[in-house]
Structure 1
Amino acid sequence: MNRPNSGFGLIELMVALTLGSLVVLGLAQVFLSSRATYLSQRSSAMLQEDARYVLSKMAREIRMVGMFGCLPIDRIIDAPEVFKTPVSGHGKSFRMITADMGRQAGRPDWTVVSDCTTFAKAYPGARLSLALGEMAFPLRELFYRFESGQLKTGPNKTVLLDNVAAFDVSFGVAGAQSVMRYEDRPANVSSIRSVRIGLTLRDPGGRVKDQAYQLVVALRNRRV
């Protein structure tokens, strides 16, 4: 008596191939979805890191705007005219004169030397020699501009940040007690009490939507 042939028939083979293809396609879809999620999260994290770096840098600088030492501006000998307008700008750019606390950017633009009681004088550049009881306050004039999708800094327009979709600056103008409104170009600089910055970053790969951030920083030195 002959035994029947063992193995798979054509139908069983086709069913197995179909099921195997479905499993492979499912695994591939899961892999691609996981990869897309990872890339989008990574892009979002990079945008957040860029925004955090730039905005924290600006916040430190804005807080020290108008910090010319211990005495008022009108008592500083040889104070340059720009000291009277330590912060200014419009929607796409602004400038400020701020205390160079870290001394990490090289030579300061000015140094105010004062004994914090009766004497204060402004010198161009750095001032290394001090008399007994004197203190030096290095100052720097900083510029920020938004051009062609980039945030630039300094008179030479050095690129600080790429992939910028929008950048906006406005100034909080004080009333009798507190900030009443924000203006692009305040007529009275002495009324400025805060700076509001809007920053929108764009993922060049288009994996995530544009990320918008806003920062409001109060000026600590009210004498400006």
Structure 2
Amino acid sequence: MFRRQRGATLVELMVAMTLGLLVVAGATQIFVDMRQTFSQASAISARQAEAGFVAQQLLRDVRTAEAIEIDGGALTLTLNGDQGAAYCGAPQTSLELTYRLAEAGGGGALEVRPDCSADASVVMNGLEAFTPTWTESGERHGVSLALTLAETAQLPQRTLSFSITSRQLALRQAVNAEE
């Protein structure tokens, strides 16, 4: 009459295997998506940190500059010689730094070249443009800088713009205006 069934039928096994395969495929897709998101977030974080470092270095140098010259895409700053130790290994009577974009493999590199050295130091790689201009007021104590970050496989092209005023030059101009 009725026989007791032992185990699962072939159809039940196939359904169970298909469901298990769908669960594993979904989990794998979630893992791959999370890994890509993490990789992109890490790339953005690294790029922001590098851009922040460059901005701080430019801010410090422009704010303390005793003279500023803009020649095409080059920004030349004349600094107090005490800052020469950071770039030249010893204090100088005066220090001239030139920031400019140099071509490098796969993009441009922002370089800084102190007048005490024939070698330039790379400040940041992966730039398409470095654009120094005088601020909108036209005063020769403030500069506007634009750093155009190159597009990568993970990140879009971005331009960071900021304006900086040389404290030394602004103060000197204010004192001269009062006289």
Report the alpha carbon displacement of residue 58 of structure 1 after superposing the two structures with TM. 0.7
Question: 1:34 matched to which residue of 2?
Answer: 34
Give per-residue Cα distances to partners, 1:74-105, cap 9 Å, x unaligned.
Answer: xxxxxxxxxxxx21123421111012555433
**Following superposition of structure 1 onto structure 2, how do residues 1-224 of structure 1 map, counting pairs within 5 Å?**
3-66=3-66, 86-100=67-81, 103-105=85-87, 106-110=89-93, 139-148=94-103, 149-154=108-113, 155-172=118-135, 179=137, 181=138, 191-202=139-150, 204=152, 206-220=153-167, 221-222=169-170, 223=172
Provide the aligned length of Structure 1 versus Structure 2. 161
Gap change, CA 1:49 and 1:200, over 3 Å in 2: same
RMSD: 2.1
Q: Report 1 or 2 for greater relative contact order, CA contacts < 8 Å, sequence distance ≥ 6.
A: 1
Give per-residue Cα distances to partners, 1:102-133, cap 9 Å, x unaligned.
Answer: 543322442xxxxxxxxxxxxxxxxxxxxxxx
Gap change, CA 1:100 and 1:15, over 3 Å in 2: farther
Gap change, CA 1:63 and 1:93, over 3 Å in 2: same
TM-score scaled by structure 2? 0.80
Gap regions ≥5 residues in structure 2: 174-179
TM-score scaled by structure 1? 0.65
Whole-Å separation in 1 of the counterparts to 2:16 and 2:124: 55
Identity value in percent? 27
Report the structure, 1 or 2, having the larger helix content: 2
Whether the aligned pair in 2 keeps the contact of 1:90 and 1:170 (CA below 8 Å) is no
Whether the aligned pair in 2 keeps the contact of 1:145 and 1:157 (CA below 8 Å) is no
